[in-house]
Amino acid sequence: MKRFSFILASLLMLFTLKLNAQNERVLLFECFTNTGCGPCAQQNPALDALIAANADRVAAIKYHMNWPSANDPMYLHNTADNDSRKGVYNVTSVPHTVVDGIRFGSTPGGLSQNMVNNWLTIESPFEMRLSYEVDEAANTITVHVMGRASTAVEGNVRLYVGVIEKEVHFNSAPGPNGERDFYSVMKKLLPTASGTSLGSMEAGDYFAYTFTWELANIYNNDQLDAIAWIQNHGTKEVYQACKSSENLEPYYANEAMVSDISNVKGANCSGESHPKVLLTNNGSNALTSAELEVVVNGEMLGAVEWSGNLSTFKSETVDLGEFSFPVEEENTLEVRIKSINGGADEASTNDIVTTDFKGAPENVAKVMKLSIRTDNNPQETTWKVTNLWTGEVVLEGGPYEQANHMFTETLEITGDGCYDFTIYDAGGNGLQGGVYGLKASGETLFSGNTFGFSESNEFSYEVTADVDENLNQSVSIYPNPTDGLLNIISQGKQQVSVYNMAGQRVYEGYCEGTLKIDMKRFGCGIYAVKVGDETQRVVVK
């Protein structure tokens, strides 16, 4: 027993020492410049030499501004991200360099090696690792970054990732200041200039992310590189920066992540969902199995067994199957990792991903207006309306012929039901530069443009839970909603059929007097109960 206690105490001490070990700081140099700026041409050589002299401990990124020369090509390649970082520090002149957000903010001529040496002695609360790969065939760069906190950090902490070109050389100067060589040029901030929220972190907290960007405005793919940094968005302090390495060693052997829930409608009246989730291996061991749980509004609906063979940083979209549930006004679908490789995930911080959706608009007007402003490829846009109770496509439209034109169509719903409206883009990029909107009684039900290949939402028309409004006097169905047993009372013999929202018949029988159906065996959700010629919607909780 004493031997066991000693071993346990030793392991805890080693873990504590590892967490509290000093992290070697990497400084972040954010440099603002312009091809028309004379002082930039004068001060950049010394700045570049200082960065090169400290290449292992300084991560640099240069943002090109639109003054004094409005035609700086490296500004025009990504105006949004360049402007965003300018706004973070309220930069009003160039050249201007910011070190670690708060340590230095002035013209780079004021920097020195002694200052760098002093800053490098400041302990960092984070350790980070980063790698990337370029897919020439797909014209993409994928960046993997992970990190761990050694001490607690509070506040609006964010992770930023920058894709840079290490060196850009022009045969003739692109601007009036005569410069032809430019270094650490910012090409893209991932996933956006706003970064990724990490929130407050405790000692030992861990994160891992993968970002992919389709390359644009790159002079030479061989010069591509990536850096990352962790910054307090409120105070502007940069806690740690990170440069890329060819061989990133993961922190854990068995560690997976779920992200990017897809195939979930923004509005739902059917009580049915068929979600998919992205499963990523962030561990050094191959990921060969995982058990995933699906939860809606706090209720665990089922577990899904996945098997495969994912090497480090590889991902696969997992089809989680179809689930039924009672729809609420506001809903949350959650996917979580229960186990991987037959055991526990060694880091649980990224084991849960959620997405929110609303209960569908009810009893919308019979006549609706669909407006579509087409993009440059109108032939790619189509849409359809499906009655989920019957599976029948009741309305459809497109493709269109006229680009960048506003089309308005009148849609008329003729029968009761829960309906699905889906808009498609064959090109997979939504309505870039266009937009769609579906209105009823002057109110917008759904709208959007950045939906990839398709986007689906649901609405209901003339659906009522009152039995006597939908069924004749000779039939009664109760209780509705039900948590299990459904009673049907009829005068005379009536055929009874029950359909799920996919239009599949799950029950068929006859009622002569009284019939009891155990609806719980079909699962939670919304069902269409047909008695004779009449149909009633029934909610199973």
The pLDDT of residue 14:
42
The residue type at 517:
I
**Would you say the CATH fold of 475-540 matches that of 256-358?**
yes
- Bond into 399 cis (ω within 30): yes
| Residue 533 zone, left/alpha/beta (φ > 0; ψ -120 to 50; rest) | alpha
Please give the structure tokens belonging to residue 431. Answer: 């309505």
Per-state percent for the chain, helix, strand, coil, to nearest 5: 15, 50, 35
Q: Record the tokens describing residue 102, joined without a space.
A: 């708060």
Q: In 3D, which of 363, 164, 356 has the Cα closest to residue 267?
A: 356
pLDDT at 525: 77
CA–CA dist 411, 385 (Å, integer): 9
Identify whether the C-beta of residue 454 lies closer than 8 Å to the C-beta of residue 436: no
Please say whether the structural domain 475-540 has been given the CATH code 2.40.30.10. Answer: no
- Chain centre to alpha carbon of residue 185: 27
By CB atoms closer than 10 A (0-12, 13-18, 19+), residue 233 is middle
Q: What is the CATH number of domain 367-461?
A: 2.60.40
A 10 A CB-CB count for 491 gives: 13
Q: Would you state the pLDDT for residue 487?
A: 84
- Name residue 279's beta-bridge partners: 258, 316
What would the 3-class secondary structure string for 420-460 be?
Answer: EEEEEECCCCCCCCCEEEEEECCEEEEEECCCCCEEEEEEE
Q: How far apart are CA 26 and CA 308, in angstroms?
A: 38
With both helix axes pointing from N to C terminus, report the angle between 38-53 and 113-120 in degrees, rounded to the nearest 10.
Answer: 50
- Please tell me whether residue 524 adopts helix, strand or coil conformation: coil
Q: What distance in Å separates the CA atoms of residue 411 and residue 462, rounded to the nearest whole number? A: 15
Q: Which of 166, 217, 209 is nearest to 188 (CA)?
A: 217
Please state, in angstroms and rounded to a whole number, the distance separating the CA atoms of residues 492 and 512: 5
What does the alpha-carbon distance between residue 159 and residue 189 come to, in Å, rounded to a whole number? 11
The CATH number of 256-358, from 1.10.3720.10, 3.40.190.10, 2.60.40.10, 3.40.50.300, is 2.60.40.10
| Class level of CATH domain 27-243 | mainly beta
513 φψ region: left (φ > 0), alpha (ψ -120 to 50), beta (else): left
Domain layout of the chain by residue ranges: 27-243, 256-358, 367-461, 475-540
Beta carbons of 265 and 357 less than 8 angstroms apart: yes
Q: What DSSP state is assigned to residue 392?
A: E
Asked whether 376 and 433 are in contact (CB, 8 A), the reply is yes
pLDDT in tens, the chain (541 residues): 444 444 444 444 444 444 445 799 999 999 999 999 999 999 999 999 999 999 999 999 999 999 999 999 999 999 999 999 999 999 999 999 999 999 999 999 999 999 999 999 999 999 999 999 999 999 999 999 999 999 999 999 999 999 999 999 999 999 999 999 999 999 999 999 999 999 999 999 999 999 999 999 999 999 999 999 999 999 999 999 999 998 899 999 999 999 999 999 999 999 999 999 999 999 999 999 999 999 999 999 999 999 999 999 999 999 999 999 989 999 999 999 999 999 999 999 999 999 999 999 987 888 999 999 999 999 999 999 999 988 899 999 999 999 999 999 999 998 888 999 999 999 999 999 999 999 998 889 999 999 999 999 999 886 443 333 444 556 788 887 788 888 888 877 888 988 887 678 889 888 888 888 998 888 887 788 888 877 777 777 6
